[in-house]
Structure 1
Amino acid sequence: MSDVTVTNVPEKKRWEAHVDGELAGFAEYQRTDELVVFTHTEVDGAYEGQGVGGALARHALDEVRAEGTHKVLPICRFIKAWIDRHPDYASLQYGARSQVTD
């Protein structure tokens, strides 16, 4: 499979994944003053099992982390499960406990 290109498309309120110029999947979100709420992720059947969903999740969460202004609320089961499998992203979740100790 070719590389997955992921871009944020704010006017559609979603990150989109493209493979060879074709839309392969998307992760929809709603944005509030404090949160990015992931509501739904979908990968076209032709691209399932090829890392498109993972690329979407990683890119979107990396972008939220880089902004540094929002927490994530993963209502979408896929994004929630992806975060659970990648604990280095757990601190992005709304309500996550800080790792800072005295």
Structure 2
Amino acid sequence: MPFKTGPVSLPGRRIIREAFEELQRTVSPLEAKDFQNTTLEDVEKAAIDIENQLAARKMLRNMRRLKPLFQGLGHYSQSIEVLCNGTPYLPWIWAPIKLILTVILH
């Protein structure tokens, strides 16, 4: 079933903008620089890198449990990309997810 998009509502844009501004106020300038270029592919790559590091240390965890997370994020990205089209917000959605994975899995 293809994903259908329609016009983005003004309240939807406002909610995303306010969340972005609040997050932007809470991170340091160094973190903000990192956040600005993060993609969903970066999040997936970070999980793979973490898995490889854990394997090298013989501390591998069941990383397959993350597969449903990435499937869900893929579906989520289809709608959120429409809301964030033409804005700087999208990388700021993926960067905290990447950060959380890094903190939790290391």
TM-score (norm 2): 0.30
More strand by share: 1
Higher RCO (CA-CA < 8 Å; seq separation 6+)? 2
Question: Which has more radius of gyration?
Answer: 2
